[in-house]
């Protein structure tokens, strides 16, 4: 009975204290594509990605009813740094859905104008507000409506202590007349959150140079307890060395919570921690370590982790390739070592039985694209006489007409596409993931390469098949499946069937090596098709903006050498970053991965049409 009554009270007081409007909520997923387009259209950095912001503690003063109900203690601030524009995953502050959508648009415009590195939060937001209103006057009515609606939600100054009231009045002036407030009066409490402004990012600096373990479970996109996609702030921590467990003799201050790191050997404990997700939802920041525990395999999140230190020491072995340093805006020489791997244990095989019908259908379709022969009439030389031309010439002579150059031969001409295509497949560890109960990403890639190779061999076009993965910058693996001089057959089919998931995705190095191979081909049209399932990443600094910018520079280098790169991805988030890397017409996203094997040959046909 006590629990029943307590539950009734909790639901009642929470409902009374809530000022949210879930019926008018606008989610970031609904405006994500618009957010990226608008941000870049207003002059924002084209390389920034749009992501959901993480929650933080609300230290400002709350209403009495909110304190009793325990609500509004967490808040999600919009922010941006050099790599990411972070927006609230959901906005339901206002009763009108249009107003919540307007708040998203305003935050995007503010982020496109505000400087990244500005120490003064108050002045930076006021300057950004003035700049937006000056450059884009159409935002002015929307901004005034947002300010009026926001001020209605804030605690009035007359209900606050004197010091907080002065701060609140200054903030209200800064919102209504941007640029009129130089500094906030000092107060014992931070001000109430301002949803129309960008907040500084919580940076976690990590200067340790040791890499993460290649076998450690990696955090990824996942759902929290309420089923929503959230992004967490995180920091890397070292494993505690020496003794495991608690310290004896017992002291009360030795009790550790989830916020502290405890390494406990639970090899014999098969019971999962059902409270792990709930505990992580309550934390403002997660500490991630390279330990051997299995919690990371149960609790999976999208984490904002700081990159490891960049090692700029040039390498001296393997095929040395450069790498683009986007912060220094220069190409670093000899930064990657690439090793070409020859297949060893691949067994020659025919087309798998499950692909026979699709293979035969695709071969029949592509044989129609095979260049055909045609006879050219009235040629000055050729293999056979053109009877029609001969009769016309004899008639002209008998009628006394002057006859010009003799063109009385037939010439057989074979029209061929002057084309070379290189297919580069991502063989990273993520291809071991399942797309269905009985199908993995690597299986989809194998089937795609198998059918595409059958289609290209039917047309007679020259093509090569390669794959890549990486384990940091000194070990980029480049798999030769079929080179341009080799004839496609049972041997190359066996190599495709033997493909396995590798390590990570250092895509820039793979594209640069593929560009070198295509540059050696004498063909006029050189096409590079890249198959991938995710963003460029590696264990060292090659993640986030660094990997994306290096890949983009590798694509630009390929185009300068006459190579046309085209990316085919099954990453649902590909539309967020691929336009910046490959251009708006340089990629396609396959929403259903199982359709890739049959759609890839059709994509090739449309590209070379």
pLDDT at 266: 44
Residue carrying the six token digits 């046309």: 564
Q: How confident is the model at residue 315 (pLDDT cuts 50, 70, 90)?
A: low
Span 347-392, pLDDT tens digits: 899 999 999 998 888 888 777 666 655 667 777 777 788 788 888 8
pLDDT at 214: 40
Phi, psi of 20 (to 5 degrees): -85, 160
Q: How confident is the model at residue 298 (pLDDT cuts 50, 70, 90)?
A: very low
- 124: tokens are 């930076």
Q: How confident is the model at residue 262 (pLDDT cuts 50, 70, 90)?
A: very low
Average pLDDT over residues 23-39: 85
Task: Evaluate the omega torsion of the peptide bond into residue 249 and state whether it is cis, within 30 degrees of 0.
Answer: yes
Helix (H) or strand (E) holding 56, with range, is strand 55-57
For the chain, domain boundaries: 2-176, 231-304, 338-367+419-608, 373-414
Span 106-153, pLDDT tens digits: 999 998 888 766 678 889 999 999 999 999 999 999 999 999 999 998
| CATH class in words for 338-367+419-608 | alpha beta
3-state secondary structure 61-93: CCCHHHHHHCCCCEEECEEECCCEEEECCEECC
* Separation between Cα atoms, residue 597 and residue 450, nearest integer Å: 8
Length of the chain: 609
Inter-residue contact 192 to 155 (CB < 8 Å): yes
Span 198-211, pLDDT tens digits: 988 764 333 333 34
* Separation between Cα atoms, residue 286 and residue 284, nearest integer Å: 7
Residue carrying the six token digits 């934390």: 283
Residues with Cβ < 8 Å from 40, sequence gap 6 or more?
46, 112
Percent share of the chain, pLDDT over 90: 33
Percent share of the chain, pLDDT over 70: 77
Whether 277 shows a pLDDT value over 60: the answer reads no
- Continuous H helices in 528-588: 545-560, 574-582
* Separation between Cα atoms, residue 555 and residue 520, nearest integer Å: 17
Inter-residue contact 320 to 334 (CB < 8 Å): yes
Report the chain's mean pLDDT, rounded to a whole number. 79
Q: How many CB atoms lie within 10 A of CB 222?
A: 15
What distances in angstroms separate CA 77 from CA 13, 52, 54, 257, one per listed residue?
25, 10, 8, 26
Q: At what angle do helices 574-582 and 28-41 cross, to 10 degrees?
A: 20
Beta strands in 380-436 (DSSP E): 384-385, 409-414, 419-426, 434-436
Phi, psi of 537 (to 5 degrees): -165, 160
pLDDT at 35: 82
* Separation between Cα atoms, residue 595 and residue 351, nearest integer Å: 18
Q: Tell me the sheet residues that pair with 319.
A: 338
User: b or e along 560-598 (b: 16 or more beta carbons within 10 Å of the residue's beta carbon)?
Assistant: eeebbbbbbbbbebbbbbbbbbbbeebbbebeebeebbe
Span 527-549, pLDDT tens digits: 999 999 988 999 888 988 899 99
Span 402-453, pLDDT tens digits: 666 677 777 766 556 778 999 999 999 989 888 888 889 999 999 999 999 9
* Separation between Cα atoms, residue 536 and residue 400, nearest integer Å: 76
pLDDT at 103: 92
Whether 507 shows a pLDDT value over 90: the answer reads yes
Beta strands in 296-418 (DSSP E): 302-304, 319-325, 330-341, 373-379, 384-385, 409-414
Average pLDDT over residues 56-72: 78
* DSSP reduced 3-state for 535: coil
**Please, is 94 exposed, middle or buried when counting C-beta atoms within 10 Å of its C-beta (0-12, 13-18, 19+)?**
buried
Whether 248 shows a pLDDT value over 50: the answer reads no
- pTM for the predicted model, two decimal places: 0.70
pLDDT at 373: 58
């Amino acid at each position: 009975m006590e629990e029943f009554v307590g539950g009734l009270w909790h639901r009642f007081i929470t409902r009374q204290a809530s000022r949210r409007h879930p019926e008018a909520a606008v989610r970031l997923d609904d405006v994500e594509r618009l957010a990226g387009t608008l941000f870049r259209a207003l002059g924002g950095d084209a390389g920034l990605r749009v992501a959901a912001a993480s929650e933080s503690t609300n230290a400002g003063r709350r209403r009495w009813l909110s304190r009793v109900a325990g609500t509004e203690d967490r808040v999600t601030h919009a922010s941006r740094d050099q790599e990411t524009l972070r927006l609230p995953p959901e906005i339901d502050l206002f009763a009108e859905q249009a107003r919540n959508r307007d708040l998203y648009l305003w935050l995007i415009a503010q982020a496109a104008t505000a400087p990244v590195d500005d120490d003064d939060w108050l002045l930076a937001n006021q300057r950004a507000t003035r700049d937006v209103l000056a450059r884009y006057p159409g935002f002015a009515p929307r901004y005034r409506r947002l300010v009026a609606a926001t001020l209605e939600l804030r605690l009035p100054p007359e209900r606050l202590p004197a010091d907080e009231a002065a701060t609140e009045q200054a903030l209200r002036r800064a919102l209504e007349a941007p640029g009129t407030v130089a500094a906030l009066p000092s107060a014992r409490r931070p001000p109430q959150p301002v949803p129309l402004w960008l907040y500084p990012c919580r940076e976690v600096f990590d200067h340790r140079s040791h890499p993460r373990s290649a076998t450690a479970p990696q955090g990824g996109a996942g759902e929290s307890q309420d089923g929503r996609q959230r992004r967490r702030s995180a920091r890397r921590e070292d494993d505690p060395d020496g003794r495991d467990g608690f310290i004896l003799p017992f002291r009360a201050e030795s009790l550790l919570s989830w916020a502290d790191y405890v390494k406990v050997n639970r090899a014999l404990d098969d019971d999962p921690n059902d409270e792990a997700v709930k505990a992580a939802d309550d934390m403002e920041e997660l500490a991630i370590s390279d330990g051997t525990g299995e919690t990371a395999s149960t609790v999976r999140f999208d984490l904002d982790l700081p990159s490891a230190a960049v090692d700029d020491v040039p390498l001296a072995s393997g095929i040395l390739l450069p790498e683009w340093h986007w912060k220094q805006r220069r190409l670093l020489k000899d930064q990657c070592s690439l090793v070409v791997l020859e297949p060893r244990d691949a067994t020659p095989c025919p087309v798998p039985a499950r692909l026979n019908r699709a293979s035969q259908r695709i071969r029949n379709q592509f044989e129609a694209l095979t260049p055909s022969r045609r006879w050219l009439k009235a040629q000055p030389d050729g293999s056979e006489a053109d009877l029609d031309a001969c009769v016309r010439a004899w008639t002209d002579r008998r009628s006394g007409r002057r006859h010009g150059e003799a063109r009385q031969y037939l010439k057989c001409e074979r029209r061929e596409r002057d084309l070379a295509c290189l297919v580069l497949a991502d063989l990273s560890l993520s291809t071991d993931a399942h797309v269905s109960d009985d199908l993995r990403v690597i299986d989809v890639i194998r089937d795609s390469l198998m059918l595409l190779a059958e289609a290209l061999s039917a047309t007679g076009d020259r093509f090569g098949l390669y794959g890549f993965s990486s384990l940091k910058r000194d070990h980029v693996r480049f798999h030769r499946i079929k080179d341009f001089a080799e004839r496609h057959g049972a041997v190359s089919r066996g190599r495709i069937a033997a493909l396995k998931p590798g390590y990570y995705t250092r895509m820039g190095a793979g594209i640069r090596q593929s560009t070198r191979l295509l540059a050696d081909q004498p063909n006029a049209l050189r096409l590079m098709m890249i198959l991938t399932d995710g963003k460029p990443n590696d264990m060292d600094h090659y993640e986030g903006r660094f990997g994306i910018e290096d890949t983009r520079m590798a694509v630009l280098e390929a185009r300068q050498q006459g190579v046309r790169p085209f990316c085919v991805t099954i990453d649902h988030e590909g539309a967020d970053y691929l336009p910046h890397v490959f251009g708006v017409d340089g990629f396609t996203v396959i929403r259903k991965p199982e359709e890739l094997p049959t759609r890839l040959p059709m994509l090739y046909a449309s590209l070379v049409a």
